[in-house]
Each structure stands twice: as C-alpha cells, then as structure tokens.
Structure 1
Amino acid sequence: MSANASHNVSLAALGCFASPPASYVFTGFTVTNTLLLLPLSLAVLSFLFRRRREPMSPLDVFTYHMAAMELIGVGGSLSCCCGAALRRATLTLVGCNAFAIVSCVKMLFHMLTCVERYLAVVHPVLYLRLSRSGGGAVRNVAIGCVWAAFSGLTALRVLLDRDFNMILFFCNLVLALAVSSFCSLSVLRALRRPGPGAGAGPGAGAGPGADGGGKPDALKRKAFVTIAAIGAVLMLRFSGNLVCLSLASSGALGGAAGCVARASGVWFCLPSSYVLPLLFLHRAGKLPRFNHHGK
C-alpha cells in the first residue's frame, strides 16, 4: 500500500515538474535561490563559525541553525530540477520532499525568534531570569525540537497524502503568522507605553537617567522591526501561496497551467528565507548601507 502511494506521488511530482512551463518556473527559482541564498547562508555560517568561542545571542543561534537548514533546502531544489531534467522520478521525489520539508519547518525558527524578542521586551524580568538560570538549555531544547520535527516529517513525507502535506504546510504558516502578529502587537504596545519617569515633568529627563531611558526604547524598536519584518514576509508567503494553490486547484486552469500556478508559489518563499540572515548581517555591521542612518 505504502509502496504504491510512494510510486504514485513520485510519478505525480515528475509529471508536474517535468512539464516545460512548470519546469522553467521552478528552474528559474532554483537558480535565483542558489545564487542568492547559498552565498548568504555560507556567509552567516562562516561568520558565526569564526566567533564560535564567543558567546552568541539566541537570535544568532537561531539564524545559524536556519542557515544550515537552508543548505538542505537548496540541495533539495537542485536535486528536484536535476531529476526533472533527467526524468528520474526518485531524484525528483527526494529533492522536492527535502525542499518542501525545509520550507515548512524553517518557519519554526521564525516563531522562536519572535518569541525570544517578545520575552526580552514585554517580560524582561522573566527573560533575564531564564537567561541566568538555564536559558541556554531551554533554547537548545527548542532547537532540538525543530530538528526533530524536520527528521519526523522527512520519515513521514512519503507515507502521507500530498493534500495532508499541504494542509500541514498552511497550518504551520498560519501558526507562524499568529505568533508573529501577537508578538508584534505586544512589542508595539510596550513601545508606546511610557517608560519610568517619562511623565514626571519638564525636567525629569535632564538627570543622569536621561540617557538610560533611551536605550530600552531603542531595544524595543529593534525588536519590533525584527518581528514586523518576519511577519511581513510570512504574510507575503501566505497570500502568494494561497492564491497560487487556489488557481491550481480551482479547475479553471488546465493541467500544464495548474502546474505552473503551483510551481509559481515557491517564489513567495524567497523573502522568508532571507529575512533572518539579512537581519543577522545588519546586527553584525556587515551591511554598511543600512548602518549609515544609525551612525
């Protein structure tokens, strides 16, 4: 039963991605993704590897693991393209599954980033307490759960129905959107809330604590920008994939056109792949164009 299901899925994947219009769309995405994301991920991994003896923030650790997972996704998309070009169903199946699983699971790192920034801004006392009493262990357990989810989905991908996989993808995407939206609104509320001594009078900000009051606000703004950027790319991804899947499943398009619509959805995954690495390079001062205003 499972062997027949695997065979049917492999033939379906090969038939869709081997059709000339859809294969051109996915090949264009793979080339773009490889040329842009592969160097970006390698740059992040190389930079963090050189700093491995220094303490890393939770954001850096999340970005490090996501960059490593992105390498698997890039390899999967390359295998999918090569399998489609060579008419190799197994290679296409393995590559497409690897790419699809990475696309789904990496959103968990987006959620962890949002939750970490939310705790740091909205619950700073709890955040400091966790940081001093085993916060690294909690972070490592969360990262381990992400990789466990990746391994579990890798084992189940071939056995599960393709529709179930799509439902799982959208459920994960909706969950990531809900988490990022909640964290973004909570941080925005904390940012708009006056800090200690803000309403104490005209001369309240002239004392020794005047400079200290600006630093928490700056941290809140940075946290809000990080969470808002993640939420924006996730919303773009959700909207784009929903439109493409609706067109492919509506029956209004033919077989080849439906494959093109389904394959076009992968382009909306690009921004969500770049947001954490670019934010990391921005924090590390490797994007001088974006640092000019801060100077």
Structure 2
Amino acid sequence: MLANTSSSNDSHPGPQLPVMSYSQCLFTRPSSFIYTAFIGLNVVLFLPLFIFILYYGFKQWWRNRSKSSSSAVNNSDCFTYHMVVMEIVGVTGCVISFGGLYGGEISAVKVGTVLFSFTWYGEGFFQNLTCVEHFLAVLYPIAYLRLKNKVGIRIRNVTIGCVWLLCFVGLGLAAKDNYIIMDSCIIILTVTVTPYCCLSVLWALNHQGTWRESVDQSKQRAFYTVVAILGVLILRLAWSVIWIFNLIRANANCVMMTCEVLFNLPSTLVLPLLFLQRAGKLACWKKDDDD
C-alpha cells in the first residue's frame, strides 16, 4: 500500500509530530537511497524478466494461432501475462519517480507512485485468481475441465476485464490520495480467499491420500503454488499492518514507509517465477523434476 499520509495531518491537527506524505518522504535520506535501489531492481532485473515472459507468451500464441479456440492458453499463464503488463506499468512509474526524485519534482514522484499502486492492486487480484483456479482444479476437477470450453474462456476474459476495471478505479482513487477503499478490498481477499484455497487444497490432498508417490503430481504442484502465493501475500500483509499500526500511533517514519516497497518484491516475483517453472525455464526445478 503506497498510501499518502498527508491527510492524517489535516484530519488530526495538534501537537503531534508532522507526518510527511509518501512522495515527500522519498526525498529524504536514507529513503531516497532505498527507493533508488528498488527502482534499479525493477529496471535492471525485473523489466527484462517481464519482457521475456511476454515474448515467450507471444511465441506460444504464434505457434498455436492456427487453433480455432484460445483454450490452449492456460488460465494461470493468462493471469500472469496480464499481471506482467501491469508490472511494466509499475516499472514505468518507477522511472518517472526516479526522474522526479533527482530532478526535484515532487509532482513527478507522485505520478510515479500512483502508477505503481496500479501494479500493487493488479498483483493482489491476479494472485488470488490463480489460487482460485488451482482450488477448482483440485477440488472440482470435472467442473474445472468443463470451464475450458468457450463459455469458460468467456468467463475468464470477463473476470480479467473486471480486474483491469478495478485497478483503474484504484488508480483514480490513488490519484486523489484515497487508498483505503481498494486497499481494504485487497486485504480482505488476502485474509479470506487465499488461506481458504490453501487449506482446502491441503485437506483434499490429505483426504484423498494424494501424498503417496503414485499420486497425481499436478495436484501437489497446485498446492505448492497456492502456498507460495499465500506466503508472499502474508509477508506483504504483515508489513502493511505494521506500517498502518505505526502510522496510527504517529510513529511512522520515512524509512518504514519506504521499506514497504522492498517487502513487496516477493509478491512481484511469485507469479513470473511460477510461470517460468511451468514453462521449464528454471534450471533448478527442471533438475528436480528430472530426478
């Protein structure tokens, strides 16, 4: 959550220590160094990864273009493609913030952080959709297979369209420094949908005795996927709760507000890395599968 805290000072005047806005904090030290390192990671490491995923997806689409149905595109892969596009929007915001940070333009920094909030919302929604997809695949495999027809593809596309719409709504709210509505939706999804999917898949695997060597390995991979997403969402949620708690106590400082972007890095990487694992592009997982 990249919330601007200037409204806290307006609504609670008094002898409390002033709390700077998020954009103002980025001009202080060591916050400026922390955010610069974050921008460097996004541009130097993450952006090539995002471009590679889109390039790989385009190659797969070009290879299968003769097929009459788009069902060849895995739902999880489709979610990842859309999330990667949003991540590129976030990287663009980082570049704008960098220019504003070292050009002394706080308005440019604000624009960049608002654009990055668009990515933050997209990550939350698409990660939860990935969990739901694996939940259906394990607990309701017959219904899940039926959703791979044209009707299911249409439902998936409408859902993705709704996610984009919600992210644009969140972007508009963020531009007005009103983060609480969309942030609350993400938090509610994080503490309800993802843990429920994780525990349900775990129960199904144990109930069906699917931890034996003869089990369907795809179900175990589904469980590991949900657990990985749950882990990064809990990490991001935990830091957000700490951030809000200190903000309420008027003890929030610029370093704490800036460090939140670092705790968001695992959430940024989880779906791309899972995509590369499914595509067999990670040598460590490929070796384990061969073993």
Q: Tell whether the structures are fold-level matches, with TM greater than 0.5.
A: yes
Deviations for 1:200-247, whole angstroms, at most 9, x for unmatched residues?
xxxxx9xxxxxxx945x3121010000000000001111122223433
Between stretches 242-251 and 262-271, larger displacement belongs to 242-251
CA shift, 1:195, in A, is 6.1
Once residues 207 and 243 of structure 2 are traced to their aligned partners in structure 1, the CA distance between those partners, rounded to angstroms, is 41
Matches within 5 A, 1:60-99: 60-99=77-116
**1:49 paired residue number:** 58
**2:125 paired residue number:** 108
AA paired with 1:237?
R
- Relative to 1, partners in 2 of residues 1:252 and 1:236: Cα closer, same or farther, differing over 3 Å? same
Once residues 66 and 29 of structure 1 are traced to their aligned partners in structure 2, the CA distance between those partners, rounded to angstroms, is 19
The TM-score with structure 2 as length reference comes to: 0.84
**Runs of 5+ unmatched residues, structure 1:** 199-204, 206-212
CA shift, 1:109, in A, is 0.3
Residue 267 in 1 paired to residue 262 in 2? Answer: yes
AA paired with 2:121?
C
**2:47 paired residue number:** 38
- Relative to 1, partners in 2 of residues 1:214 and 1:248: Cα closer, same or farther, differing over 3 Å? same
Q: Is the 8 A contact 2:139 2:204 kept in 1?
A: yes
AA paired with 2:61?
R
**2:233 paired residue number:** 234
**1:276 paired residue number:** 271
**1:246 paired residue number:** 245
Once residues 183 and 139 of structure 1 are traced to their aligned partners in structure 2, the CA distance between those partners, rounded to angstroms, is 18
Identity percentage of aligned residues: 35
Q: Is the 8 A contact 2:43 2:91 kept in 1?
A: yes
Larger of the two Rg values belongs to structure: 1
Deviations for 1:244-273, whole angstroms, at most 9, x for unmatched residues?
3433443346xxxx1111111111110011
**Runs of 5+ unmatched residues, structure 2:** 1-6, 11-19, 65-71
Once residues 27 and 197 of structure 2 are traced to their aligned partners in structure 1, the CA distance between those partners, rounded to angstroms, is 42
Deviations for 1:128-148, whole angstroms, at most 9, x for unmatched residues?
222235111011011101111
Once residues 101 and 144 of structure 2 are traced to their aligned partners in structure 1, the CA distance between those partners, rounded to angstroms, is 48
**1:224 paired residue number:** 223
Once residues 249 and 148 of structure 2 are traced to their aligned partners in structure 1, the CA distance between those partners, rounded to angstroms, is 50
**2:163 paired residue number:** 146
Between stretches 59-68 and 242-251, larger displacement belongs to 242-251
Q: Is the 8 A contact 1:248 1:261 kept in 2?
A: no
CA shift, 1:178, in A, is 1.9
**1:123 paired residue number:** 140
Q: Is the 8 A contact 2:236 2:267 kept in 1?
A: yes
Length, aligned pairs only: 265
Deviations for 1:85-134, whole angstroms, at most 9, x for unmatched residues?
21213211110100122112321000110111111110111112222351
Tell me, what secondary structure is at the counterpart of 1:19?
coil
The TM-score with structure 1 as length reference comes to: 0.83
Tell me, what secondary structure is at the counterpart of 1:52?
helix
Q: Is the 8 A contact 1:41 1:71 kept in 2?
A: yes
Once residues 267 and 284 of structure 2 are traced to their aligned partners in structure 1, the CA distance between those partners, rounded to angstroms, is 21
Once residues 264 and 174 of structure 1 are traced to their aligned partners in structure 2, the CA distance between those partners, rounded to angstroms, is 23
